[in-house]
């Protein structure tokens, strides 16, 4: 009877169906077990194409085969056939879902991929013994030649498929990288340290093609990481190399010490330029290097595999293999590249590591020092956010529920439609969390995004100002972070004064919710200072400190948080020429949780008339935030103190960009407090005017 059925060993539909299944098995075996390789990627494409084309003939074969044998009594052979057919249908259905998600979905479901894989195993486990039992139970010599031809036909199809994939990989293996230093590359620090004085190295010890670490925009296609790309575009990581001030400082360094010396900056500011060998002899590459518009790109950050707490970019950079057509931003190549990343994600997942979530990862760049190789004298510590944080009360060893890490502040969780949402489970997150870590890296720089007018810079500036004012909300750490301003202020003075008295004022500043020193970063250029005004009853100003002149310079004698580094001859480092630094002659900053005090002595003019109707008593000391100064009431002095911040001091801006540029750094008011002091007639019973009674509140 078997030779008369429509799905026998020699039928055309059987040959087509079995050949397609063998092709799918062969390519699926390669996809599942072989390492990442262009031939495997071509196998994914071939597997998908053949699978789509084979759905109809395989379904038709199963229907016809069931019609041929449905009247048979249930036996082990028939049962295996039903199991195999059911598993094959599940495999086909899951394959269609996986293909749809790969082409049109936001992200690939691991569950559907596993269903597709294990249904294939189940179909093979049932169908193979099903066919063998049928073959060996029927020993008709008439049957054997068709079976041999069928097996040969199918095996040939599978082999041809693998040969086709390998041939395609030879014709187009994906992007080709030229991992070689330029012919004129200067190994001034020795051939074994090509990137010195930066401590950054590559996993091979050699150069990496610039294209292999660039192309961040390709990560943000419509169905990929578009939300994260939007966040990154105006961020400090993106403009790290493009920053005009950085470029000017780097040019001065190159002119003074040779362009090779700028490799010191490259590991953190422009790794693409560093590892491609562009920081070399004097060429346009210093200001128009590969990666100039990307700074710390997506791949430059996500391809780091080892970090060291020494700082100065002490990390190991790897070169991730590229997917086929990976750098195409539009067209069929982009569609296929995205499809491969979703359906064959093993290599892409290597770009996400647990180490990226640890503060030690940030420390590679957020610790900096100068040593003899740079300043020709000796070792000097520069900015050091990591050790500040590690020594502060924000770090509690072994207690993550009490510790606040770098990413919790600077990469807070945001509502997400990105494929990376919920990509890892933290101690306070569930696996289905529909959020991701913001890649804006909000901190304190509102100058450069506005200068460059990068995409989304207005929102970046707005959030930066909120951050500096302490109004930036981070719900995930609300229970262990502080409320109020970043730096709390308390203004104290005498309970009352008389005309002609000396008025002693005391301002206490406390680092309220800063994870490291405040200010932090290059304190030779950052300025945070107190602006204080004392107004009489008629609103006239009788004292001021911390004001700026028409050229935006802060008045001498103002209370200022900053550092004054010096070179080996004692000269002030005021052009961010840190390569000459050997020490610091002055440094003032707030350690987390600690306070600093500034005192003022103000003359109460004898012309201030006391208010006879105002009762004597404690000062009206409520601390407030004002949009505009409120006048003092009759018979009282009003004292107003503001904490201001700007990223770059005016002298450096003028030196680097020229005073004619008319540029000044935005000044952000971080906090403001007020104190009102009654003015009374002097009497014998009146306590001394410089009494130490407190007269101020804490913050906003």
Q: What is the pLDDT of residue 82?
A: 87
Q: Could you tell me the pLDDT band of residue 282, with boundaries at 50, 70 and 90?
A: low
With a cut of 50, say whether residue 166 has pLDDT above it: yes
Can you tell me the distance from the alpha carbon of 258 to that of 552, in angstroms, rounded to the nearest whole number?
Answer: 33
Residue corresponding to tokens 């405040």: 518
Mean pLDDT of 655-679: 94
Q: Which of residues 651 and 539 earns the better pLDDT score?
A: 651
- Give the three-state DSSP class for 639: strand
Lowest mean pLDDT across 295-309, 321-335, 674-688: 674-688
Mean pLDDT of 604-627: 50
Q: Could you tell me the pLDDT band of residue 143, with boundaries at 50, 70 and 90?
A: low
Q: For residue 125, how many other CB atoms are within 10 A of its CB?
A: 14
Strands (E) across 93-175 are located at none
With a cut of 70, say whether residue 686 has pLDDT above it: no
**Residues 641, 672 contacting (CB under 8 angstroms):** yes
**Residues 397, 348 contacting (CB under 8 angstroms):** no
Look up the pTM and report it: 0.85
Mean pLDDT of 7-25: 82
Q: What is the pLDDT of residue 288?
A: 65
Q: What is the pLDDT of residue 90?
A: 93
Using CB atoms within 10 A of its CB, is residue 399 exposed (0-12), middle (13-18) or buried (19+)?
A: exposed
DSSP 587-599: EE-BPTT-EEEEE
Mean pLDDT of 663-669: 96
Q: What is the pLDDT of residue 61?
A: 82
Whole-angstrom CA distances from 636 to 85, 328, 541 are: 93, 70, 13
Q: For residue 666, how many other CB atoms are within 10 A of its CB?
A: 16
Can you tell me the distance from the alpha carbon of 241 to that of 247, in angstroms, rounded to the nearest whole number?
Answer: 7
Can you tell me the distance from the alpha carbon of 465 to that of 475, in angstroms, rounded to the nearest whole number?
Answer: 18
Q: Which of residues 387 and 134 earns the better pLDDT score?
A: 387
Cis peptide before 357 (omega within 30 of 0): no
Can you tell me the distance from the alpha carbon of 475 to that of 6, in angstroms, rounded to the nearest whole number?
Answer: 67
Q: What's the pLDDT tens digit per position in 22-39?
A: 999 999 999 999 999 999
Q: What is the pLDDT of residue 432?
A: 54
**Residues 666, 446 contacting (CB under 8 angstroms):** yes
Q: What is the pLDDT of residue 141?
A: 64
Can you tell me the distance from the alpha carbon of 484 to that of 543, in angstroms, rounded to the nearest whole number?
Answer: 28
DSSP 37-94: -HHHHHHHHHHHHHHHHHHHHHHHHHHHHHHHHTTSPP-HHHHHHHHHHHHHHHHHHH
Which helix H or strand E contains 250, and what residues bound it?
helix 244-257
With a cut of 80, say whether residue 492 has pLDDT above it: yes
Whole-angstrom CA distances from 556 to 544, 570, 576 are: 12, 21, 21
**In this structure, are strands 668-678 and 560-567 parallel, antiparallel, or unpaired?**
unpaired
Counting every residue, how long is the chain?
700
Mean confidence (pLDDT) of the chain: 86
Q: What is the pLDDT of residue 133?
A: 78
Nearest to 418 by CA among 93, 149, 107: 107
Please give the structure tokens belonging to residue 416.
Answer: 């997400």
Whole-angstrom CA distances from 592 to 370, 391, 475 are: 24, 9, 21
Nearest to 493 by CA among 659, 620, 613: 620
Question: What sign has the CA pseudo-torsion 424, 430, 431, 435?
Answer: negative
Q: What's the pLDDT tens digit per position in 445-488?
A: 999 999 999 999 999 999 999 999 999 999 999 999 989 999 99
| HEC profile of 484-553 | CCCEEEEEECCCCECCCCEEEEEEEEEECCCCCCECCCCCCCCEEEEEEEEECCCCCEEEEECCECCCCC
Question: What sign has the CA pseudo-torsion 243, 245, 248, 253?
Answer: negative
Strands (E) across 292-395 are located at 304-307, 315-317, 367-370, 380-384
Can you tell me the distance from the alpha carbon of 271 to that of 290, in angstroms, rounded to the nearest whole number?
Answer: 9
Q: Could you tell me the pLDDT band of residue 7, with boundaries at 50, 70 and 90?
A: low
Can you tell me the distance from the alpha carbon of 202 to that of 550, in angstroms, rounded to the nearest whole number?
Answer: 49
Using CB atoms within 10 A of its CB, is residue 306 exposed (0-12), middle (13-18) or buried (19+)?
A: middle
Mean pLDDT of 499-503: 91
Residue 456 Rama label (left phi>0; alpha psi -120 to 50; beta): left
- Cα 272-313-255 angle, rounded to 5 deg: 65
Q: What is the pLDDT of residue 423?
A: 54
With a cut of 50, say whether residue 695 has pLDDT above it: no
Whole-angstrom CA distances from 531 to 312, 588, 600, 680 are: 35, 16, 12, 27
Nearest to 194 by CA among 260, 258, 256: 260
**Residues paired with residue 380 on neighbouring β-strands, in sequence order:** 370
Mean pLDDT of 228-252: 94
pLDDT over 70 percentage in the chain: 88
Can you tell me the distance from the alpha carbon of 44 to that of 111, in angstroms, rounded to the nearest whole number?
Answer: 18
Q: For residue 427, how many other CB atoms are within 10 A of its CB?
A: 6
Please give the structure tokens belonging to residue 180.
Answer: 């070689």
Lowest mean pLDDT across 300-314, 602-616, 665-679: 602-616
Of these ranges, 127-136, 630-639, 668-677, the one predicted with the greatest mean pLDDT is 668-677
With a cut of 70, say whether residue 3 has pLDDT above it: no
With a cut of 80, say whether residue 208 has pLDDT above it: yes
Can you tell me the distance from the alpha carbon of 647 to that of 588, in angstroms, rounded to the nearest whole number?
Answer: 16
Helices (H), 554-668: 650-657
Q: Could you tell me the pLDDT band of residue 606, with boundaries at 50, 70 and 90?
A: confident
Lowest mean pLDDT across 222-226, 590-594, 602-606: 222-226
Count Cβ neighbours within 10 Å for each residue of 444-467 and write b for 16 or more, e otherwise. Answer: bbbbbbbbbebebbeebbebbbeb
Can you tell me the distance from the alpha carbon of 35 to that of 21, in angstroms, rounded to the nearest whole number?
Answer: 23
With a cut of 60, say whether residue 44 has pLDDT above it: yes
Q: What is the pLDDT of residue 369?
A: 94
């Amino acid at each position: 009877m078997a030779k008369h059925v429509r799905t026998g060993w020699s039928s055309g539909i059987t040959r087509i169906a079995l050949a397609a299944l063998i092709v799918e098995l062969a390519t699926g075996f390669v996809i599942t077990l072989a390492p990442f390789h262009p031939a495997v990627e071509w196998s994914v494409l071939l597997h998908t194409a053949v699978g789509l084309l084979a759905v109809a003939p395989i379904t038709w074969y199963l229907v016809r085969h069931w019609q041929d044998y449905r009247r048979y009594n249930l036996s082990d052979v028939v049962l295996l056939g039903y199991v195999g057919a059911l598993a094959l249908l599940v495999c086909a259905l899951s394959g269609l879902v996986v293909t749809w998600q790969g082409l049109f979905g936001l992200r690939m479901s691991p569950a559907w991929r596993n269903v597709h894989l294990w249904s294939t195993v189940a179909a093979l486990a049932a169908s193979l013994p099903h066919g063998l039992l049928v073959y060996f139970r029927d020993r008709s010599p008439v049957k054997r030649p068709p079976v041999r031809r069928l097996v040969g036909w199918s095996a040939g199809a599978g082999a041809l498929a693998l040969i086709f994939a390998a041939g395609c990989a030879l014709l187009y293996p994906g992007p080709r990288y030229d991992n070689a230093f330029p012919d004129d590359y200067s190994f001034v620090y020795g051939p074994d340290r090509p990137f010195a004085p930066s401590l950054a190295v590559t996993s091979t010890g050699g150069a990496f093609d610039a294209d292999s670490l660039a192309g961040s925009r390709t990560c943000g296609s419509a169905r990929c990481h578009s939300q994260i790309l939007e966040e990154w575009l105006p961020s400090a990581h993106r403009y790290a190399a493009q920053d005009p001030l950085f470029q000017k400082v780097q040019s001065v360094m190159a002119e003074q010490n040779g362009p090779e010396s700028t490799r010191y900056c490259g590991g953190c500011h422009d790794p693409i330029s560093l590892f491609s060998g562009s920081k070399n002899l004097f060429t346009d590459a210093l200001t128009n290097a590969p990666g100039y518009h990307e700074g710390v790109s997506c791949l430059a950050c996500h391809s780091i595999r080892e970090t060291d707490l020494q700082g100065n970019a002490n990390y190991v950079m790897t070169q991730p293999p590229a997917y086929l057509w990976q750098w195409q931003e539009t067209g069929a190549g982009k569609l296929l590249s995205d499809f491969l990343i979703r359906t064959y994600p093993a290599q892409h997942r290597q770009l996400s590591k647990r180490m990226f979530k640890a503060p030690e990862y940030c420390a590679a760049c957020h610790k900096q020092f100068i040593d003899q190789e740079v300043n020709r004298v000796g070792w000097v510590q520069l900015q050091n956010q990591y050790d500040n944080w590690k020594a502060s009360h924000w770090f509690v060893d072994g207690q993550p529920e009490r510790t606040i890490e770098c990413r919790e502040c600077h990469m807070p969780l945001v509502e997400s439609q990105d494929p990376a949402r919920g990509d890892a489970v933290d101690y306070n997150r569930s696996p289905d969390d529909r959020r991701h870590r913001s890649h804006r890296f909000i901190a304190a720089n509102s100058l450069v995004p506005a200068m460059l007018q990068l995409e989304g810079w207005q929102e970046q500036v707005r959030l930066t100002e909120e951050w500096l004012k302490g109004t930036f909300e981070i719900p995930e750490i609300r229970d262990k972070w502080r409320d109020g301003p970043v730096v709390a202020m308390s203004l104290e003075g005498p309970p009352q004064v008389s005309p002609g008295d000396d008025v002693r004022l005391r301002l206490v500043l406390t680092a309220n919710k800063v994870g490291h020193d405040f200010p932090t970063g290059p304190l030779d250029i950052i300025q945070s200072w107190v602006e204080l005004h004392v107004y009489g009853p008629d609103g006239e100003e009788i004292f001021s400190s911390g004001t700026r002149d028409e050229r935006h310079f802060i008045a001498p004698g103002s209370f200022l948080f900053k550092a004054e580094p010096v070179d080996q001859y004692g000269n002030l480092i005021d052009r961010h020429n840190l390569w000459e630094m050997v020490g610091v002659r002055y440094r003032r900053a707030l350690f987390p949780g600690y306070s600093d005090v500034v005192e003022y002595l103000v003359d109460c003019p004898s012309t201030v008339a006391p208010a006879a109707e105002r009762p004597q008593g404690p000062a009206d000391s409520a601390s407030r935030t004002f949009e505009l100064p409120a006048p003092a009431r009759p018979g009282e002095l009003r004292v107003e103190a503001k904490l201001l911040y700007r990223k770059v001091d005016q002298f450096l801006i003028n030196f680097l960009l020229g005073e004619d540029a008319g540029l000044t750094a935005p000044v952000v008011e971080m906090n403001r407090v007020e104190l009102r002091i009654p003015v009374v007639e002097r009497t014998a019973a009146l306590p001394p005017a410089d009494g130490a009674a407190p007269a101020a509140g804490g913050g906003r």
